[in-house]
Structure 1
Amino acid sequence: MSGRLQNKVALITGGGTGIGAAAAERFAQEGATVVICGRRADVLEAKVNAIRNNGGRADWVRADVSDEAAFAQAVEATVDKQGRLDILVNNAAAATWGMIETQPTSEWHACFRASLDSAFFGTRAVLPHMKHQGGGAIVNVASVCGLLGTPGMAAYTAAKAGLINFTRTAALEGAGSNIRVNVVIPGVVMTPWAQEAHGTEAAMAATARGVPLKRIGEPRELASAILFLASDEASYITGAGLVVDGGKTCELVPGAADFTD
């Protein structure tokens, strides 16, 4: 690897599995000291050990990022231990299922708390540190569900749409302090959550057929997009949304990209 994040310190939420774990691995390969944050200590510790065994620098901090005090404490603990914080990846999220007319208000709020409020909590907590050190990069992880409607997922789609626009405002507020804020917008990705949601291999295959590239994305492919926006290679990019969905959201008519007989 080229050391694109050499001597940087990065905090990644939801870093134990899926896209967050892939980003943590890739960041460490590029020279960053990676701190992964989540609720399950055993999962976090296992991922940190795997990164260290491959020669990377990593640590973990346990916190429920939907709890603003806990997230703020995780940020302070990271800065105290590492001496600085250059990159924040707001990756943690939670989805709730249910049609609007029957969904409990508590589930709506829980989804927003984990998927949108947490990004606000984390951004608010890191901004003073990044301003003090002369800059930084924040990468939020949204979803194509924030661009298009999805029946049965009103809370998740609304939260992710909010995250996309929150990114733009945060970018404007951070620009004067050399703090860049961008958002990666994944389509369907082969994560434990996606596998559980689909339930069967047949369902996964059907989803893949509906993607113009005819496959489901891999976490490492999202990690590459997150890495780019976090690195100095994206030094003139802020307030941007990078869609990584195999072409799904650029297709007006489903199946129009299928030219097979």
Structure 2
Amino acid sequence: MTTDLNDRVAFVTGGGSGIGEATALLLAERGAHVVVTGRRRDPLDAVVERIHTAGGRGEARVVDVSDEAGFVAALEQVAEQHGRLDILVNNAMAFNWGPLEEMTTEQWHENFTTTVDGTFWGTRTALSLMKARGGAIINLASICGELGTAWMAGYSASKAAVINFSRAAAAEGAAHGVRVNVVVPAVVETPATEGMLADDATRRSTEKLIPMGRVGRPEELAAAIAFLASDDASYITGATLPVDGGRGAVLITAID
């Protein structure tokens, strides 16, 4: 077992399932003390139990990243309790979808509250907490933030904002040894995509768009996040790393 993150303190939002869960498990496996957060207690406790069973260290905290005061307080409490904050993974997101012409202003803003505002609040707070010793912030975007996607205008705009916000944050954090990077998934097999991928025809049509011919696994995203959190990525900041099976690299894929 690699223990390159030994004794580091990591804070993972949206950690109760999917990419967040896989990330929390891997960071703990590699030696970090992982604070697993989300809005529902039961999934968080289940993830922490898996961490403990595997011999790792972790704790669960109910945190809603769309609540600025609560999110900021949780980060500050963790840093005070453990004497440090080394890794922040801004994974939590929320979105709605539908035709642009039918989208209300309220629905438009709903796409930003968790994804953009939460990423801003988390990054701003972590920058302040990490200044003394450095650290790594990894923000989750989406291929929808780089390519236009019908019926996903609000979500696409919010993820595009995360990408460029992270570049600006990287520029400001670099002098203090705080690295800020972005991981960009395409379609990943998580509870959020379970319904879509359960339909065989939809799954096949989705996989045809991906050069590697399959959707991603949460563990593959977690591996990229853990790399960016580690000292192996010590000279990488402001980067946008696609983990998408090649989907973002092509205009069209082969037609069979």
TM-score bracket relative to the smaller structure = over 0.9
Partner of 1:162: 161
Letter of the structure 2 residue corresponding to residue 140 of structure 1:
N
Corresponding residue for 1:243? 242
Contact preservation (8 Å) 1:38, 1:63: yes
Indicate the residue corresponding to 2:64 in structure 1: 64
1:40-90 per-residue CA deviation (whole Å, 9 max, x = no partner) reads 011111111111111110001111101111110110221122221100000
Aligned partner letter, 2:49: N
Question: Is it true that 1:180 corresponds to 2:176 in the alignment?
Answer: no
1:140 touches 1:182 (CA, 8 Å); kept in 2? yes
AA paired with 1:94? A
Correspondence 1:42-191 to 2 at 5 A: 42-132=42-132, 134-191=133-190
Residue 255 of structure 1: aligned partner: 253
1:5 aligns with 2:13: no
The Cα offsets for residues 145-203 of structure 1, whole Å up to 9 and x where unpaired, read as 00000010000000000000011000001011000000000011001101134452331
Q: Secondary structure at the match of 1:140?
A: strand
Report the equivalent of 2:230.
Answer: 231
Give me the whole-angstrom Cα distance separating, in 1, the residues matched to 2:168 and 2:198: 37
Percent same amino acid among aligned pairs?
Answer: 52
TM-score by length of 1: 0.95
Structure 2 spans left out of the alignment, 5+ residues = none
Within 1, Cα distance between the matches of 2:112 and 2:236? 27
CA contact (8 A) 2:187 2:244 kept: yes
User: What letter is aligned with 1:127?
Assistant: L
Amino acid of the structure 2 residue aligned with 1:76: E
How many corresponding residue pairs? 256
Q: Distance in 2 between matches of 1:197 and 1:124?
A: 35
Q: Is the 8 A contact 2:97 2:152 kept in 1?
A: yes
- 2:29 is matched with 29
Report the Cα offset of residue 214 of structure 1: 0.4
- What is the correspondence of 1:185-200 to structure 2 with a 5 Å cutoff? 185-198=184-197, 200=199
SS in 1 for 2:237: coil
Residue equivalent to 2:220: 221
Distance 2:253 2:216 in 1: 18
For 1:99 and 1:202, the matched residues in 2 are separated by 23
Task: Spell out, residue by residue over 1:10-59, the C-alpha distance to the aligned partner (whole angstroms, 9 max, x if none).
Answer: 00000110000000000011000000111001111111111111111000
In structure 1, stretches of 5+ residues that fail to align are none
> How well do the aligned residues superpose, as a CA RMSD in angstroms?
1.2
CA distance in 1, matches of 2:56, 2:16: 15
Secondary structure of the 2:156 match is helix
Distance of 1:104 and 1:245 partners within structure 2: 31
3-state SS, counterpart of residue 34 of structure 1: strand
Question: Do 2:196 and 2:202's aligned partners in 1 also have CA atoms closer than 8 Å?
Answer: no
Find the counterpart in structure 2 of residue 40 from structure 1. 40
